[in-house]
Amino acid sequence: MDVTVTERAASRIREIVANDPSSPLLRISVEGGGCSGFQYRFDLVSAKADDDIVIEREGATVLIDPTSLPYLSGSEIDFVDDLIGSSFRVKNPNATASCGCGTSFSI
């Protein structure tokens, strides 16, 4: 159930948390909703839960709760900055469809 964080994503996480040192961890979770059935949620938090999966890369820490992990298994968390904007993107091999903006998906 490996989830990877790219170097670009790690760099952006470090930049974001530098502005809010009281919440130095990025939590990624999956919730029901969005136009395709599920959606990704990104939150800065101050502490990890006892059962969180912790991914660390180059000084950036990402947390995933055990309920969300099966939906994210094998995914790559990236950060893109292109003409339509900048955002974290999840390249999820489990998704059978996704919306145009890339924030919701179906399995």
* 46-88 tens-digit pLDDT: 999 999 999 999 999 999 999 999 989 999 999 998 877 788 8
CA distance 92 to 8: 17
Give which of 44, 4, 37 is closest to 23, Cα–Cα: 44
DSSP conformational letter for 3: -
- Whether 102 contacts 91, CB under 8 Å: no
83 Cβ partners below 8 Å, 6+ apart? none
pTM of the predicted model, to two decimals? 0.85
CA distance 87 to 16: 12
- Domains annotated for the chain, with CATH where assigned, are 4-100 (2.60.300.12)
